[in-house]
Amino acid sequence: MLELYSKAKLPTMAGTFEIYTFKWEDSKDHAVLVKGDVMNAQNIPVRIHSECFTGDVLGSLRCDCRDQLMRSLVYLGKQDVGMLIYLRQEGRGIGLLNKVKAYDLQDQGYDTVEANLLLGLPVDRRDYTYAVEVLRYFNIHSIKLITNNPAKVDFLSGNDIVVSERIPIKSTPTPYDEFYLSTKKVRMGHQL
């Protein structure tokens, strides 16, 4: 059961949001940024972003995570209402320690899917149940999802959240993330 723990105003480079934290069964410190009055709102833009320490914080060029996060935040900052749900599930849910091991395998020529499998891990272990519960907390049943990942759309749809529109995130590939983005498109079905 999701329980509100705290909320406060959060001025950002993209505008002022309210940041919410909730007590949740996985004990991770997820965060929810809210723009405007979203209670009972429908068809609002929502970004569900999984933590990427190397990209989000350190600015790694191996992935487009920071670019997706910043573009989403800027987009949401221009809207009357919207939400960014930041999930603490690093490395597609495998954690930072295993993510760095996977990086080493990628440096040896394996793609991101192969690297996870060689480590005996699933390709993607992420779970979006927390995001569904957050949407239910605010009584939101339909959203415009900011994503390139069809698995997020499928998960939400399978949990009675209507995705009325998919808003793509367009990033410019770099020499460092071209192979990674290609793998996401070809092997994971991302709509890039």
Choose, from 47, 62, 92, 126, the residue flagged as catalytic. 126
- Between helix 150-157 and helix 129-137 the angle, nearest 10°, is 60
Q: How many other C-beta atoms lie within 10 A of the C-beta of residue 97?
A: 10
Q: How far apart are CA 61 and CA 173, in angstroms?
A: 9
Q: How far apart are CA 34 and CA 60, in angstroms?
A: 26
Query: Is 124 annotated in the active site?
Result: yes
Query: Is 47 annotated in the active site?
Result: no
Choose, from 64, 124, 125, 166, the residue flagged as catalytic. 124
Q: Report residue 27 as tokens.
A: 């004990």
Looking at the annotation, which residues are catalytic?
A: 124, 126
